[in-house]
Structure 1
Amino acid sequence: MTVMAERTFQMSVEEFETIASAAPETVTLEFINGRIGVKKVTDGDHNTIVTWLTKRCMQFRPDLDLYTGQGLRVETYREGRAKPDAVITPEAHFAGYGEWADPSGVLMAVEVTSYDSDTDRRDRHEKPAAYGQSGIPLYLLIDRDSCTLTVHSSPDRKVGGYRDIRTAKFGEKVLLPDPIGIELDTEILKNYVR
């Protein structure tokens, strides 16, 4: 007989939302896997990468919107709260939503790694599990540590994560499959790493 360890939570999602709503703008808080996390303040290179992606989306898919700072309810029963670096949706998708929106309709979540100790756990493990379980079709990880882009597709809603994971080095052309359907020339990203 296998005994499963019960997952312990630091606090309820309601307690987290109260704390997050009172946090200063210089701090971004998330609640994933039952634990509160702090996202490091972004640097100029991080923001430049998000701006680069925004321009590519505007150029090739003007019918889509790229949001930064939009919180999402993620994980089983929507008990997690994540603030991706960017999310891509149909035009005006989040109109009328509050700080934490349902991820239904999100086409792709994007994270750009920060140079902090939580990046591995948060961006490479917890976020793909949460986004996949939430049914977000694509997760794009722009990893400045390894100079790679990883495209996660075919979400697995039962166990979380994605069934198809493809990684390319900065400098290669990367196809973002449907529902985004654009190709990115990533050569310029080599300029935005330490």
Structure 2
Amino acid sequence: MNKILPVLLLFFSFADLDVKQNQFIARQGQISFFSYTSVENIEAKNNQVLSILDIEKEEIAISMLMRAFVFKKDLMYEHFNESYIESDLYPKANFEGKIIDFDAKSKEQQTKIIRGQLTIHGITKELDIKASIANSNGNYILSGEFDISVKDFEIKIPPILASNIAKTISIQFLFQYQPYEE
């Protein structure tokens, strides 16, 4: 009996290590958005986006604080957080999804669809996102671009400002994952 216990402990420690080797984290992912109109372009960047990638389960989770977006003009930041996104009520945006047909062993860049749920402004929508995934020396780089409709997330724009903000917003993302370590 005394000989079995150390063997079991060793087995469980390797099992736990194997799970952690399948999980990767990006602590400073980047998300930016761009709104083009003939009146004024609006763009902002957020470099404080957290994401977890589980290559065995082919799952991804992303979370970001809305107030971490940086704008060129302070007034844009204020309007974005107070009037449109209402960051006091909805401080975070989240995405949870599954990478379709992902081959974690491939050393080649892969273009895959990530199917999941995006939550912004308290509204959750199903979304398919085309993403590029590269395995770089055991670390993963995930990037892509997609569009969302302001109307889909019930973001209200006063009629007087409707010409200043595009109805469709272009979103770009870049995550550089490293093995997850506690």
TM-score normalised by structure 1 residue count: 0.24
Which structure has more strand as a fraction of its residues? Answer: 2
Higher Cα radius of gyration: 2
TM-score normalised by structure 2 residue count: 0.25
